[in-house]
Amino acid sequence: MTKFEEFSENLSKHQSVWLITGVAGFIGSNLLEKLLILNQKVIGLDNFDTGFQSNIDLAIKDAEKLSGKPLSANFNFINGDIKNLKDCQLACTGVDYVLHQAALGSVPRSIDDPINTNSANIDGFLNMLVASKDANVRRFVYAASSSTYGDHPDLPKVEEKIGNPLSPYAVTKLVNELYAQVFATTYGFKTIGLRYFNIFGKRQSPNSEYAAVIPKWIGAILNEKDVFINGDGTTSRDFCYIDNAVQMNLLAAKTENENAIDQVYNVALNDQTSLNELYQMIEERLIDKKQGLNKKSPIKLDFRIGDVKHSRANIEKAKALLGYQPNFTITQGLDKTINWYVQNL
């Protein structure tokens, strides 16, 4: 049994109330599934701007299938918006732990629409901080972003060294961290930020104009459509499977290590995969899984404004202070992800 499996077993013996904002999204619905399996009570808040009711339904269905128990009674959904303080206050009532995932993601989206990105990611974040503080929640864990590293050239990325933001989205995520710091020093409110590095896995939408690269490419290949790569394909990322991110959220919420609180952490593998390598890995698996698919070269486009060329995370801080041990490599994560999309698309 791994350390996280031991942690999970212990967590399942002590029921708490958790709030997941953005519960209808990709990461939020995976958190919902895991918490229900672990016998926790969950409140979900979402306005369906980018999330889907089907994600919630599938999360509950999968949790019940894996646990062999009816679990829907342990979940309460609030159709609300983090930009509305009253919705946040209602959602935080009686909550022990907040996992704040709600945001308008995507660097290109923020370049196209900086005002709405700012409203959701800064105004909404502040509303959630205030509501959580006033409700005396035990811990506020929030989705930060690797975009915060901006133009800092060092690899791997270390939490204490950041550069200048390269997009409106990156600005909003940096502001989140600054607000969390201020709430820690001013109010003694306990927060932990998780800088996600290219999280991927089941229930990640392939259809949005701003879809992440892995689901977008899987969907395109399965439908025999063109795949586009921004740049020459040597751009690299630290792709991290969703179960590793779920682990970090739970460890951050429940840690009793005082030195671990009011910090930010990288959520990644300390690995680097180029877009050319990623395309080959995805295509090979899909051809193996589905008959009739043939190899097809991707179309190369100009490098995208606001993106960084290379990204890789140092995860030693998360290991040392939170006990993080990623359970899935990129190849293991892709195997599970592609199996899911082949069955569900």
Q: How far is 212 from 204, CA to CA, in rounded Å? A: 8
Q: How far is 228 from 327, CA to CA, in rounded Å? A: 30
| pLDDT(345) > 80 | no
Per-residue pLDDT at 291: 83
Q: Which residue has the higher pLDDT, 302 or 48?
A: 48
Per-residue pLDDT at 262: 97
pLDDT grade for 76, boundaries at 50, 70 and 90: very high
Arithmetic mean of pLDDT, 141-169: 95
Q: Which of 169, 196, 241, 279 is catalytic?
A: 169
Handedness of CA 122, 123, 128, 129 (dihedral sign): positive
pLDDT one-digit tens code per residue, 306-332: 778 899 999 999 999 999 999 999 999
Arithmetic mean of pLDDT, 250-270: 97
Q: Which residue has the higher pLDDT, 297 or 36?
A: 36
Give yes or no: 169 in active site.
Answer: yes
| pLDDT(131) > 90 | yes
Q: Which residue has the higher pLDDT, 216 or 3?
A: 216
Q: Which of 138, 128, 340, 129 is nearest to 242 (CA)?
A: 340
pLDDT one-digit tens code per residue, 80-97: 999 999 999 999 999 999
Domains of the chain: 3-199+241-271+307-328 (3.40.50.720)
Beta strand segments in 251-324, E: 263-267, 273-274, 299-301
Q: Calculate what percentage of the chain has a pLDDT beyond 70.
A: 100
pTM to 2 decimals?
0.96
Q: Which two tokens stand for residue 62?
A: 């999968």
